[in-house]
Chain A
Amino acid sequence: MFEAINSIIWSLQSVAFAEPKTDTGLETIKSIIWLIPTLPLAAAFLNGFIALTFLRSKPKSELTATQRGLRYLTSTIGILAIAAALLVSLIVLFFLIGQDKEHKLIQVENIYTWIPSGDFNIKVGFNVDPLTSMMTVVVTTISLLVHIFSTGYMREESGYHRFYTYLPFFTFSMLGLILVNNFLLLYVFWEAVGLSSYLLIGYWFSKKYDWGRLLPSDASKKAFIVNRVGDFGFGLGIMWIFVVMLNHAEGAAKGFDRLNYQNVFQVFEEGSKTGAIDHNTITIIAILLFMGAMGKSAQMPLQVWLPDAMAGPTPVSALIHAATMVTAGVYMVGRVNPIFSLSPEAMTFVAVIGILTAFFGSTVGTTQKDIKAVMAYSTVSQLGYMFFALGVLGWVAAFFHLMTHAFFKGLLFLGCGSIIHSNEETIHEALHKMHLVVKDHNLAEEIEHAIHHDVDPQDMDNMGQLIKKMPLTGWSMVVGAAALAGVPFTAGFWSKDEILGQAFAHGQYPIYIVGLFAALLTAFYSFRMIFSVFFSGDYRLPKAMNRAVARAGGVNAVEFVAQGRKTKPNQVEVIAKESTKNMTFPLVFLGFMSIAAGYVGLPRSIFGGLSVFDSFLEATFEPAFAQVAPKETSAWLTVILLILSGAIALTGVAIAYYMYHQNRDVAPYRARRIAGPLYTISKNKWYFDEAYDLLLVKSGLLFERSLWLFDRYVIDGAVNGTGWVTRQSANYLRKVQTGFVGNYALYITIGLVGVIGLFYLINGI
């Protein structure tokens, strides 16, 4: 199989580039790289223009035929632009694959000077190496699939065009983040993805009720602000780098870009070798930079925003909050590996944060009922995996997992979207029928209201047996979950095992064990989701709806039953349907990738040169490997580890099977009772939100309010007090002004006598 893939890759490359190493090829590549981010940007501008000029925020039903056409035009523009960007990225990727190890770096420098200011010069340019190239392909692929998926998912939205303005804009920002060659520009796009994430989480800003979850308008704000906490450190880190560069790149020519990656890496490497740059400085800079990664990639203790970010539309969760944007932190650490690798302390810090987060995410994921929350915590946990992989110096392993994770988590989220969409459509149609059955208009309204309020289309308790109704979604999600769980021979199996293997190879046994435990939990919760949603027992949605009916007091008026069970006239069938093709196609494609993507990075100690991923990415991590040479477990140990982690995964699946397939009505509750407080802590996400609310939000507001009081009464009080004193003293003094001319004359005389007296007093008589 891998041989086949390998040969396909090689042949593709030889087709695309007959002479890969000629300069003209390089020049051509250099001249097309700018297209990768610019095409989505152009699409975003175009769509934004169409949206603001022609469509506004009118609902779909109010649009004219032309406007509807324009509405679909926006999605078409988006899809075409991303597809073109994907094409260019692929060309660049294959070009790079064909290059020697020494030539795997394309630099497009000095497109223009962004900030020309004294010794602070920032020049815009691109820096394309294997890591970059791999990331652009992953991002554009997932983005394209999400664009396609959303044409179905967002079909009925009145803000369809708005969505297709934000989505290409995000893609632009993400691609910019990956491609730029400069720390400050990295920061720029870092913030730009933050903005698009903010806009997309807040897409449904007018939502008033979300079944107890944080509302989009709050969640988006939270995401941005928590990210800013990370950026606080990131920005300081960049400034510090600049200062170090000033100290150590003195004789540089005018216009020298002191934040350019290559310049910085060179100075840091030399400075650290000669000892000119203090080791602690490097450590602190690395940790400051990592703060940014902690924010963006939702690492503890800044992970709180990501689960709430699920308030955005589900395709957005798939693209931004699972597959691409949240991996920006991982990308950044990988990109800055020449600095990070200089400081073992910083790497340990990264590893500890990573493993903590991985553990945290997997524990919380096991108890969530909301299908998207499970996936969100799973993402947190998997990002933790990537970070501890980086921390234990498994550079390539981290990015291998990043890639496979992008595919299978993108798949799982899009699958969730498909399920939620289907559930919503199902409820919508059932309610439509209900209105025909229930004659009493007010009662029907009550029932509809109750169902809208009670029946959460994302709650796994309301699902079951969906595999029969939605086979394509179901089976592709099973593949995705298997990959997430690390079931043998899926992509996730290979990548997760490589991470654990790296932890083992570098002798980080505690991390290895915690990682293994987290893997067990991961397997458990992913299949918990699969079994509760797609298999186990019966279809639960009608039951949940009936409960809501009972609450609304309409028990006899209507009853919801599953498909094909209708016997009485007051019964309404609840018919779940598979999603449309534009939604299932991305799922199936990603399902394929969730298996296939694993075979580019097979363990090298067993399969040797077949591991093209390793050899491709090695060029990027050359500086890191120069510090600590890559380690690998020997072949037989690798096999043992593979078997061990496969067994762990299967154990997790088996537990899930027992609890959620065989005994879904009993086992979970029994387990909950046994776990006791552990369950409560996990269910409440370790009480992070509550703690922050108390420590930062509430007390912060208190502090700010008292500061305002201080402003009004002390500072402004002093100002107004001056005025008051002036007025009061004037009030007293004005009594001298009697208005009688005689008095004034007297004052004049007294004054005159006084002056003359003083004159003589001083000068003598």
Chain B
Amino acid sequence: MIPVSWYLIFSAVLFAIGLTGVLTRRNVLIIFMCVELMMNAVNLTLVAFARSFGTVHFAGDAFVIFVVTVAAAEAAVGLAIIVSLARQQESIDADQIDLLKE
């Protein structure tokens, strides 16, 4: 069996890639995809832990399902926001959008 640490390292790398993407990319769409990536990295961790420790309660698996659901909802809302942003601002460049500051 593959030790749990492999999964963890893998998910850490995945997470780091996602994070770098969020921090460095300007296209909101890509940032959004990177966020999804980070979430999946976490999901992976959860599943890995669930597999190695939590055989009884399925808490980790349940949580993953939860996160996936939330991610789907988030994707829907997020994409909607991006679409309306694109319509309103005619740009999806994160550096151009500072409406929060107002």
Q: Which A positions have Cβ atoms within 8 angstroms of B? A: 737-742, 745-746, 749
Q: Are B23 and A740 in contact (CB under 8 A)?
A: no
Q: Which chain B positions have C-beta within 8 A of A738?
A: 98, 101
Query: Which B9-55 residues have a C-beta within 8 angstroms of A?
Result: 19, 22-23, 26, 28, 31
**Mask of B70-102 contacts with A, CB within 8 angstroms, 1/0:** 000000000000000000000000110111111
Which of A737, A742, A745 lies in contact with B95, CB distance below 8 A?
Answer: A742
Q: Which chain A positions have C-beta within 8 A of B31?
A: 741-742, 745
Q: Are B19 and A740 in contact (CB under 8 A)?
A: no
Contact A746/B23 with A737-B100, A738-B101 known, Cβ cut-off 8 Å: yes
Complex Cα spacing A738 to B19, Å? 20
Q: Which chain A positions have C-beta within 8 A of B101?
A: 737-739
Q: Which chain B positions have C-beta within 8 A of A749?
A: 19, 23
Q: Which B positions have Cβ atoms within 8 angstroms of A? A: 19, 22-23, 26, 28, 31, 94-95, 97-102
Q: Which chain B positions have C-beta within 8 A of A742?
A: 22-23, 26, 31, 94-95
Q: Which chain A positions have C-beta within 8 A of B28?
A: 741
Q: Are B22 and A740 in contact (CB under 8 A)?
A: no
Q: Are B23 and A739 in contact (CB under 8 A)?
A: no
Nearest B residue to A745, CB-CB? B22
Nearest B residue to A735, CB-CB? B101
The secondary structure that dominates the B interface is helix
Nearest A residue to B25, CB-CB? A742
Nearest A residue to B28, CB-CB? A741
Q: Which chain B positions have C-beta within 8 A of A745?
A: 22-23, 31
Complex Cα spacing A740 to B93, Å? 10
Minimum Cβ distance to chain A for residue B37 (Å): 13
Complex Cα spacing A19 to B100, Å? 103
Q: Are B94 and A739 in contact (CB under 8 A)?
A: no
Q: A741-B94, A749-B19 are in contact. List 19 more A-B contacts (CB 8 A).
A: A737-B101, A738-B101, A739-B97, A739-B98, A739-B100, A739-B101, A739-B102, A740-B95, A740-B97, A741-B31, A741-B97, A741-B100, A742-B23, A742-B26, A742-B31, A742-B94, A745-B22, A746-B23, A749-B23
Nearest A residue to B19, CB-CB? A749
Nearest B residue to A744, CB-CB? B100
Q: Which chain A positions have C-beta within 8 A of B99?
A: 739
Minimum Cβ distance to chain A for residue B72 (Å): 21
Complex Cα spacing A745 to B24, Å? 10
Q: Are B102 and A740 in contact (CB under 8 A)?
A: no
Minimum Cβ distance to chain A for residue B68 (Å): 22
Give the top 6 A-B pairs by smallest Cβ distance, nearest first. Answer: A739-B101, A739-B98, A739-B100, A745-B22, A742-B94, A741-B94
Complex Cα spacing A546 to B23, Å? 105
Q: Which chain A positions have C-beta within 8 A of B22?
A: 742, 745
A-B contact pairs, 7 of them (CB 8 A): A737-B100, A738-B101, A739-B100, A740-B97, A742-B22, A745-B22, A745-B23
Residue from A737, A739, A742, A746 whose CB has the most chain B CB atoms within 10 Å: A742
Minimum Cβ distance to chain A for residue B24 (Å): 8
Complex Cα spacing A746 to B24, Å? 9
Residue from A737, A745, A749 whose CB has the most chain B CB atoms within 10 Å: A745
Complex Cα spacing A430 to B68, Å? 111
Complex Cα spacing A746 to B95, Å? 13
Nearest A residue to B102, CB-CB? A739
Complex Cα spacing A741 to B94, Å? 7
Minimum Cβ distance to chain B for residue A168 (Å): 74
Complex Cα spacing A746 to B25, Å? 12
Q: Which chain B positions have C-beta within 8 A of A741?
A: 28, 31, 94, 97, 100
Q: Which chain A positions have C-beta within 8 A of B100?
A: 737, 739, 741
Minimum Cβ distance to chain B for residue A429 (Å): 84
Minimum Cβ distance to chain B for residue A364 (Å): 79
Nearest A residue to B34, CB-CB? A745
Complex Cα spacing A48 to B26, Å? 87
Nearest B residue to A746, CB-CB? B23
Minimum Cβ distance to chain B for residue A178 (Å): 79
Q: Which chain B positions have C-beta within 8 A of A740?
A: 94-95, 97-98
Complex Cα spacing A741 to B95, Å? 8
Complex Cα spacing A742 to B100, Å? 12
Complex Cα spacing A749 to B99, Å? 22
Minimum Cβ distance to chain A for residue B41 (Å): 14
Q: Which chain A positions have C-beta within 8 A of B94?
A: 740-742
Complex Cα spacing A740 to B22, Å? 12
Nearest A residue to B101, CB-CB? A739
Complex Cα spacing A740 to B23, Å? 11
Minimum Cβ distance to chain B for residue A619 (Å): 92
Q: Which chain B positions have C-beta within 8 A of A739?
A: 97-102
Complex Cα spacing A103 to B19, Å? 108
Minimum Cβ distance to chain B for residue A422 (Å): 86
Complex Cα spacing A757 to B86, Å? 39
Nearest B residue to A749, CB-CB? B19
Minimum Cβ distance to chain B for residue A738 (Å): 6
Complex Cα spacing A737 to B101, Å? 6
Q: Which chain B positions have C-beta within 8 A of A746?
A: 23
Q: Which chain A positions have C-beta within 8 A of B98?
A: 738-740
Nearest A residue to B22, CB-CB? A745
Minimum Cβ distance to chain B for residue A737 (Å): 6
Complex Cα spacing A741 to B101, Å? 10
Complex Cα spacing A740 to B100, Å? 8
Minimum Cβ distance to chain B for residue A730 (Å): 14
Complex Cα spacing A462 to B87, Å? 100
Minimum Cβ distance to chain B for residue A757 (Å): 15
Complex Cα spacing A737 to B99, Å? 11
Complex Cα spacing A455 to B98, Å? 85
Minimum Cβ distance to chain B for residue A159 (Å): 68
Minimum Cβ distance to chain A for residue B32 (Å): 10
Minimum Cβ distance to chain B for residue A765 (Å): 15
Complex Cα spacing A737 to B102, Å? 10
Complex Cα spacing A559 to B95, Å? 101
Nearest A residue to B20, CB-CB? A749
Nearest A residue to B100, CB-CB? A739
Nearest B residue to A741, CB-CB? B94
Q: Which chain A positions have C-beta within 8 A of B19?
A: 749
Nearest B residue to A740, CB-CB? B98
Complex Cα spacing A739 to B95, Å? 9
Complex Cα spacing A746 to B98, Å? 15
Minimum Cβ distance to chain A for residue B38 (Å): 10
Minimum Cβ distance to chain A for residue B101 (Å): 3
Complex Cα spacing A741 to B92, Å? 12
Complex Cα spacing A745 to B32, Å? 12
Minimum Cβ distance to chain A for residue B29 (Å): 13
Q: Which chain A positions have C-beta within 8 A of B26?
A: 742
Complex Cα spacing A403 to B22, Å? 105
Complex Cα spacing A233 to B97, Å? 76
Complex Cα spacing A395 to B98, Å? 95
Minimum Cβ distance to chain B for residue A744 (Å): 8
Q: Which chain B positions have C-beta within 8 A of A737?
A: 100-101
Complex Cα spacing A742 to B34, Å? 12
Complex Cα spacing A749 to B22, Å? 10
Residue from A738, A740, A749 whose CB has the most chain B CB atoms within 10 Å: A740
Complex Cα spacing A740 to B98, Å? 5
Complex Cα spacing A493 to B40, Å? 119
Nearest A residue to B99, CB-CB? A739
Complex Cα spacing A66 to B98, Å? 83
Complex Cα spacing A740 to B24, Å? 12
Nearest B residue to A742, CB-CB? B94
Minimum Cβ distance to chain B for residue A277 (Å): 79
Minimum Cβ distance to chain B for residue A739 (Å): 3
Minimum Cβ distance to chain A for residue B36 (Å): 14
